[in-house]
Amino acid sequence: MNPNNCFYCTEEYKDYMKEVAILAHSRVYLNNEQEYPGRCYVVLDIHKTELFQLDDEKLAGYMKDVAKVAQAIQHVFSPDKINYAVYGDIDSHIHFHLVPKTRAGKMWGWPFELTGEEGKKKFLTEEQYQSIIDKLKAHL
């Protein structure tokens, strides 16, 4: 994939997520759809499509960023578990989905729904998004 056609490199993502922070090896975004409160993406700061393409330093640094974001989500939302998902079939730029889940919540014990059920998606006000972003930033 050419970075010129990449969802993350061309900034097409801006319709689907809000920037939370820029970390040492990644950019962090809050998913606009918040059926799983606190769901974020951790996007590698360079265009690569496979983890094995990274040198040891970059790989370790990126994984530290992923862990740091997960810890911030844990502090803010107190989920029972954070699911980590890496796909890339369509958007192959390396990125992790961090999805906080609760035992009483949707899809416990199963993979989360990537896009959410149409008509049941949960969108917030700009003020609510900003509140979450501010809380996450305080722990990053």
**Mean pLDDT, rounded, for 78-106:** 95
Nearest to 30 by CA among 105, 97, 112: 97
Neighbours of 57 (CB within 10 A): 9
Confidence grade of residue 1 (pLDDT, cut at 50, 70, 90): very low
Domains of the chain: 3-138 (3.30.428.10)
Share of the chain above pLDDT 90, in %: 74
The pLDDT, as a whole number, for residue 112 is: 83
| This model's pTM is above 0.75 | yes
> What is the token pair recorded at 82?
């954070």
Residue 20 pLDDT greater than 60, yes or no: yes
> What is the token pair recorded at 48?
């690569």
- Cα separation, 82 vs 116, in Å, equals 17
**Cβ proximity of 139 and 71 under 8 Å:** yes
CA distances from 106 to 39, 100, 135 (A): 13, 11, 23
Higher pLDDT, residue 13 or 20 = 20
**Mean pLDDT, rounded, for 81-104:** 95
- Cα separation, 92 vs 95, in Å, equals 8
The pLDDT, as a whole number, for residue 57 is: 98
